[in-house]
Amino acid sequence: MRWDFVVVTVVGLVLSFAETSSGGITSSYVHITQGDHKGNGVIVSWVTTDEPGSDTVLYWSETSGVRLLAEGFHVRYKYYNYTSGYIHHCTIKNLEFDTRYNYVVGIGNTTRKFWFETPPKSGPDVPYTFGLIGDLGQTYDSNRTLTSYESNPAKGKTVLYVGDLSYADHYPDHNNVRWDTWGRFTERSVAYQPWIWSAGNHEVDWAPQLGEPKPFKPFTHRYHTPYKASNSTSPLWYSIKRASAYVIVLSTYSALGKYTPQNFWLEEELPKVDRNETPWLIVVMHGPMYNSYVSHYMEGETMRALHEKLLVQYKVDIVFAGHVHAYERSEPVSNIAYNITNKECTPKIDQTAPVYITIGDGGNIEGLAKNMTEPQPNYSAFREASFGHGILKIKNMTHAHWSWYRNQEVNSVTADSAWLFNRYHISSKESSVVAS
Ligand SMILES: [Fe+2]
């Protein structure tokens, strides 16, 4: 036996493994989100671990091929005993609509190339497909959910992410390495299509016992949003237009009462929505206002009491939320009649009111929320405790199709679906939801 050969080989293997596993620029990872209000901007974010490298993104459209550069910046943060890598953010603006772009980050031999597609310009009859994922985490089930979404022939173009990303706070000392591993896990989708971020309770990372009293510190350093473009003062609530949809993102875990910045912003935002340009008005948040599971039951009452009237008044079509680790779709429902003394506190089916969909079934470390309140309330149209994802296919200004896919099905068999008729563009006498 040539022991010297064995030793050299083993040392070589160890070094080789260390090079690929301990980081360096090879372990950078990328994610993108919308970078402006109207849909032709993209924020490219990526993390390098050992050196900052370049903040520049090289990009070109497949139609013109002309190479362009966008300059970004990078940030770092410390969290207890963790120091982040170099987190780069670069906003690319004024892209062509409905166009595929290639983009490259990195320098020298470490460049990595990806691509994305900009959405069509907003307009009333522009079809578009959103994927819905929430409470994903990073488990075997998380991987099944993402794989199921990626292989779904419905082909979501953009993910509306309903909060709770990495679950780093579930690990000792909020181990922020879990933020990095989640970034690597999700890159295979979010480097190629934007995920629209909303923050959940697992993004708060409030840990004064660790000397970390600033809420949302890891999330806001890592995941930027185009909030300034919608006159928001916080990255945690903002709006975007994307094709025929107007998406309003709210923060369940920020102040939301009457005289708070989030409420002022929402009250000014809703009247601005031009339903002839973007007929579909969608609200995304983490904690559900309507939830008939035992898990987190009635946690959303504060937000419902404060904001439901506005959502009904402005004919919001769909409210997506997560938090409950299961799936539930409501009938179009309203519970805004109650005034303390009139006893009218039962939710009513109202064809002009929003449909509420809980899609917190991404598959995280906490497992499924299996216990349901009984009996199933009238407003609850369908509920099931399985991991999965959703697809919203907007067909035109009046019709959209919603479908939910549970992970245990193969070949993307639909487990629940419904046609949704636009709240604003349909007579209130007609039924606005039909199970399909
Ligand atoms: Fe949650």
Q: Which of 117, 134, 163 is the C-terminal boundary of a domain?
A: 117
pLDDT at 22 over 90: no
**How far apart are the C-alpha atoms of 64 and 85, rounded to whole Å?**
34
User: What percent of the chain lies above the pLDDT cut of 70?
Assistant: 93
- Position 41 in a domain: yes
CA 134 to ligand 1 centroid distance, Å: 9
pLDDT in tens, 366-419: 999 999 999 999 999 999 999 999 999 999 999 999 999 999 998 888 999 999
Neighbours of 299 (CB within 10 A): 17
Structural domain for 413, as ranges: 124-434
- Position 163 in a domain: yes
- 174 noted as active-site residue: no
- Matching residue, tokens 């120091």: 83
**How far apart are the C-alpha atoms of 418 and 12, rounded to whole Å?**
57
What's the token pair of residue 342?
A: 């009139």
Counting the structural domains of the chain, the total is 2
Average pLDDT over residues 36-50: 96
Helix 301-313 × helix 261-269 angle, to 10°? 20
**How far apart are the C-alpha atoms of 168 and 87, rounded to whole Å?**
17
pLDDT at 254 over 80: yes
* Residues 142, 76 share a domain: no
**How far apart are the C-alpha atoms of 206 and 214, rounded to whole Å?**
6
What SS3 class is residue 108?
helix
CA 254 to ligand 1 centroid distance, Å: 14
Q: Which of 117, 147, 179 is the C-terminal boundary of a domain?
A: 117
Domain containing residue 327: CATH number: 3.60.21.10
- Position 346 in a domain: yes
- Position 170 in a domain: yes
Q: How many CA atoms lie within 13 A of 103 on its CB side?
A: 29
Q: Which backbone phi and psi does 212 adopt, to 5 degrees?
A: -125, 80
Average pLDDT over residues 302-326: 97
**How far apart are the C-alpha atoms of 111 and 87, rounded to whole Å?**
16
- Position 11 in a domain: no
* Residues 172, 76 share a domain: no
Neighbours of 153 (CB within 10 A): 7
- Residues, beta carbon < 5 Å, ion ligand 1: 164, 200-201, 323
* Residues 208, 113 share a domain: no
CA 133 to ligand 1 centroid distance, Å: 13
* Average of per-residue pLDDT values in the chain: 93
The pLDDT assigned to 410 comes to: 81
pLDDT in tens, 165-204: 999 999 999 999 999 999 999 999 999 999 999 999 999 9
- Position 21 in a domain: no
Could you say which of 174, 296, 323, 389 is catalytic? Answer: 296
DSSP secondary structure, 345-369, as one string: -S-EE-TTSPEEEEE--S--TT---
**How far apart are the C-alpha atoms of 423 and 214, rounded to whole Å?**
39
Domain containing residue 88: CATH number: 2.60.40.380
CB-based contact 150:186 (threshold 8 Å): no
Comparing 423 with 21, which gets the higher pLDDT? 423
Q: Which of 117, 134, 164 is the C-terminal boundary of a domain?
A: 117
CA 321 to ligand 1 centroid distance, Å: 9
